[in-house]
Amino acid sequence: MIGFYILIGAISLVSWLISNTLKNKFKKYSEIQLRNGMSGAEIAEKMLADNGIFDVKVISTPGQLTDHYNPKDKTVNLSESVYSQRNAAAAAVAAHECGHAVQHAKAYSYLTMRSQLVPIVSVTSKFSQWLVIGGLVLGAASSASGIGFYVAIAGLLFMALATLFSFVTLPVEYDASNRALAWLKNKNMVSQQELAGATDALKWAARTYLVAALGSLAMLLYWGFKILGNRN
């Protein structure tokens, strides 16, 4: 189990470093005020309109970095600071979330796949690690014929679904950022300095998803080796 704790510690450290850098980046670019004077909410509403999307609402949601697009009720949810602020960071986040709305409107395949996986992964992710550990306790690492092995394999399959979800999320997030930045640039919504700040902020935001995906894959490979690599 020492290897497991080392892996968890390494993933947690990298995740913390990325998250901390992201917060600092957003703080930095929150100080760059938009020359057009538009708030995050106004940026979002204009991007939706420019893409011919009129059935999506832009609403404010409590918290910090809680911004998201909800395909079920078609709402772009912006955190309170992003919704009302008029800076490069707010513009980047607002446009990014609208990028998801554009994906939804255009039936972007990876977003569709991700939405289909959400209800499955929300259930399987709660039990995957317990099943793997339980299977190992029951002897999965030493025998391929006992109940422990099948329990552990079920846990690995659940983990594989979570890993798949993490990797499907990557193109969804990167594509949303690309759509956002292209719109901000092509519509002359921001200056060169503001665009540079928005680009850097979204780049670091995307890295949080990359770390999560790699961490999920590392955990899957670790437990897979424990179960399948040491059997007699």
Angstrom distance (rounded) from CA 12 to CA 144: 32
Tokens of 138: 């029951």
Spell 4-30 as b/e; 16+ CB within 10 A means b: eeebeeebeeebeebeeebeebbeebb
Phi and psi at residue 71, in whole multiples of 5°? Answer: -70, -20
Angstrom distance (rounded) from CA 215 to CA 29: 28
107: left (phi over 0), alpha (psi -120 to 50) or beta: left
State yes or no: is 97 an active-site residue: yes
31, 42, 80, 97: the active-site residue: 97
Burial class (CB in 10 A: 0-12, 13-18, 19+), 55: exposed
Burial class (CB in 10 A: 0-12, 13-18, 19+), 197: buried
Angstrom distance (rounded) from CA 154 to CA 223: 12
Which residues are the active-site residues? 97
